[in-house]
């Protein structure tokens, strides 16, 4: 067995698929409050999600894992810890944890290395433990595998802007603040979620937003000196967390861009110079996310590439599927919508272990 992955599109051979066991609606805390829209049904509610929704999400995740295995891909699953239990560090307490449906948020695979991200929600501080049995196994099996834990943050109140978005202040104010890069997280310490990074061979694009700050991007830049690390800010998103519903590379030369979160000019110019086509993603098929979901409807574009020609798309996201079909991809429909509330879509619920490829320079 081998750990290695440099891009979002090289042929996928080995992957982790999350589980919904003991999934939680997180208790209020600064970063979570900022991410949950004012009108969301999650406001004022927290604790273990209904068991029937957990069972349904797990059935979908199991089916997805089986589909990948039928295509010859090795699939590993995390070992859930007791996410019902509140947690405590010397600096904070959280009344619930989160779950382990979304390994993409926690684990960043770059070449032969998997980095456990710092995370920025208190409720996700110990989530890496669900993946430690796998990472230990990879360490034993692959002598070239580098297992790295980014500096664990303290997440004291100093890491969060006081009172940020606690009240119903409206989407326009959120947009004004995020346009000025006024986010809930401060620059007190290094913070990043792994899902704020997309990998394009020698280039890493990292979103600056609620879950990744400038220090987090600086840490990634210093940690990967042989990569070009591009910071990206998408002012059209009132809840900017995780890049994989905003900018989604499909294959060398082609990238999907969320039309409501326009690409910054420095990236548009980088792609233009290198003859990449930037295509606006099709509109989501749904006007609202499913109940108790903290992600946006743009999970429609949260696709998983099996290789540079084959893409898994959520089954009900018909507009996105049609667009990818027209672009010449083999589209593999996968039912996952009822699992969205547990942490996201098809890209979110996976993390790469091995893709057959190397650190090609696609944007020289
Ligand atoms: N974890 C992906 C969620 C991104 C979004 O809500 O747009």
Mutate to test the pocket of ligand 1, among 240, 242, 345 (most ligand atoms within 8 A of CB): 242
For 331, phi then psi, to 5°, come to -100, 125
pLDDT tens string 238-280:
889 999 999 999 999 999 999 999 999 999 999 999 999 999 9
Has residue 211 got a pLDDT over 70?
A: yes
| Cβ proximity of 249 and 255 under 8 Å | yes
Could you tell me how many helices (H) and strands (E) the chain has, helices first? 8, 19
Which pair of structure tokens corresponds to residue 11?
A: 């042929």
Ligand 1 lining (C-beta closer than 6 Å): 195, 242, 244-245, 295-296, 298, 344, 348
ipTM for the predicted complex comes to 0.96
Mutate to test the pocket of ligand 1, among 37, 261, 295 (most ligand atoms within 8 A of CB): 295
Residue bearing the bigger pLDDT, 122 or 174: 122
pLDDT tens string 29-48:
888 877 777 777 887 889 99
Which pair of structure tokens corresponds to residue 162?
A: 């006081």
**What is residue 170's predicted lDDT score, i.e. its pLDDT?**
77
CA–centroid distance, 139 to ligand 1, in Å, is: 30
Report how far residue 90's alpha carbon sits from residue 212's, in angstroms, rounded to the nearest whole number. Answer: 23
How many C-beta atoms lie closer than 10 Å to residue 15's C-beta?
A: 24
Which pair of structure tokens corresponds to residue 182?
A: 């006024």
**What is residue 167's predicted lDDT score, i.e. its pLDDT?**
59
For 6, phi then psi, to 5°, come to -115, -15
Report how far residue 53's alpha carbon sits from residue 341's, in angstroms, rounded to the nearest whole number. Answer: 9
Q: What are the chain's domains?
A: 12-355 (3.75.10.10)
**Catalytic amino acids?**
193, 242, 348
């Amino acid at each position: 067995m081998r750990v290695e992955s440099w891009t979002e599109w090289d042929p996928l051979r080995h992957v982790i698929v999350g589980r919904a066991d003991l999934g939680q609606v997180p208790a209020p805390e600064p970063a979570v409050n900022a991410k949950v829209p004012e009108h969301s049904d999650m406001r004022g509610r927290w604790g273990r999600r209904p068991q029937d929704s957990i069972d349904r999400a797990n059935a979908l995740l199991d089916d997805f894992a089986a589909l990948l295995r039928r295509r010859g891909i090795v699939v590993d699953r995390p070992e859930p810890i007791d996410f019902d239990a509140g947690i405590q560090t010397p600096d904070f307490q959280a009344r619930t944890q989160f779950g382990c449906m979304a390994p993409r948020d926690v684990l960043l695979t770059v070449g032969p290395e998997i980095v456990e991200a710092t995370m920025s929600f208190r409720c996700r501080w110990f989530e890496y433990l669900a993946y430690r049995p796998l990472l230990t196994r990879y360490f034993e099996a692959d002598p070239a595998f580098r297992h790295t834990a980014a500096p664990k943050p303290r997440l004291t109140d100093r890491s969060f802007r006081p009172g940020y978005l606690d009240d119903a202040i409206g989407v326009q104010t959120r947009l004004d603040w995020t346009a000025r890069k006024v986010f809930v997280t401060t620059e007190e310490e290094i913070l990043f979620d792994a899902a704020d990074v997309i990998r394009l061979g020698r280039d890493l694009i990292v979103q600056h937003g609620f879950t990744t700050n400038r220090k987090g991007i600086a840490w990634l830049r210093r940690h990967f000196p042989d990569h070009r690390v591009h910071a990206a800010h998408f002012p059209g998103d009132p809840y900017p967390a995780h890049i994989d519903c905003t900018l989604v590379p499909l294959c060398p030369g082609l990238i999907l861009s969320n039309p409501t979160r326009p690409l910054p000019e420095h990236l548009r110019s980088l792609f233009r110079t290198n003859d990449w086509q930037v295509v606006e993603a099709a509109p989501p098929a749904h006007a609202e996310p499913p109940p108790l979901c903290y992600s946006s409807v743009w999970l429609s574009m949260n696709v998983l590439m099996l290789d540079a020609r084959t893409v898994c798309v959520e089954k009900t996201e018909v507009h996105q599927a049609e667009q990818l079909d027209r672009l010449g991809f083999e589209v593999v429909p996968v039912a996952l919508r009822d699992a969205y509330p547990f942490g996201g879509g098809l890209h979110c619920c996976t993390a790469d272990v091995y893709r057959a490829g190397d650190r090609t320079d696609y944007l020289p």
